[in-house]
Amino acid sequence: MLQLQDLSKSFDGKTAVVDAVNLELRAGVLGLIGHNGAGKTTLMQMIATLCKPSRGRILLEGEDIVARPERMRRRLGYLPQDFGVYANLTALEFLQYFAALKGVRDAGRIRRLLEQVNLHEHANRQAASFSGGMRQRLGIAQALLNEPDVLVVDEPTAGLDPEERLRFRQLLSEIGFSKLVIVSTHIVSDVENMATRLAILNRGRLSLCVSPAELLQQARGLVWAGELDEGEYEARRPHWQVLQAQRQACGSVRLRVAQAEAPFRGAQPSLPSLEEALMALRYALPHGATAGAAA
């Protein structure tokens, strides 16, 4: 179990980048979602013991890892957003180097990890020549070398092609069957089909922590679909949170709108996607009301 208690971080002593976050996490995949600058990376760096909180505690099975960071580091796997490789090392040599740093002496584990991330056929190829997706998979392999109980991954699919994104998401999903995996992203589709829970950060504060099914349920009745004349759409568009608009050959516009009530005559309530649900809860509720409480 990982507990974040009143966790806050300020770099200038005034503005909180992370502000009073409370979370209780167990095995599974947590999707940490928020716009760029929401505080996701800072929160993950505190969990990874790379920076200290200004206030609050992080407990791993009841032990304070802020006071004793080595307790977390022995059980942590971490893949930062900007993961680099050493130009002259092969994939095998790269993992051997990190295994030595982490005190892992099982050579067979390196081979098994290369197979798990589908790089075993490229073990003797220089890692600097890898594609972005291959480097990310190598990064996951190094993060898993010490058989961590907690895996922290920051923006894992940035720059990957669709096939690599799909393969990478499947890999993280499988790891989440027995480990706690925390995936930070601003791309909802990255976690839509693998997250057991979603934590939404907004300006450093945790506004929501629910399962994907609970999120969709909260957004029921907040997404509307219909068709309008193009002229009427252009006139009324500034007053709506438009989720999707598709111009038709006949001169009308088929659209989806996030709003607490029907935006125009003929609009029908529609089941939202996960991304639409997040947008709807952000924009359709009055005065920025919080859609749920943290777990």
Tens-place pLDDT, residues 99-109: 999 989 888 99
Q: Considering the entire predicted model, what is its pTM?
A: 0.85
Tens-place pLDDT, residues 45-86: 999 999 999 999 999 999 999 999 999 999 999 998 878 888
State how far the alpha carbon of 151 is from the alpha carbons of 76, 77, 142, 176, in Å.
6, 5, 11, 9
Question: What is the mean pLDDT of the segment spanning 283-289?
Answer: 49
What pLDDT was estimated at residue 287?
Answer: 38
**What Rg value do the Cα atoms of the chain yield, rounded?**
22
What pLDDT was estimated at residue 220?
Answer: 92
Q: Which domains does the chain carry?
A: 2-210 (3.40.50.300), 218-288 (no CATH)
What pLDDT was estimated at residue 248?
Answer: 94
CA-nearest of 70, 54, 4 to 32 is: 4
Strand 252-258 versus strand 223-229 pairing type: antiparallel
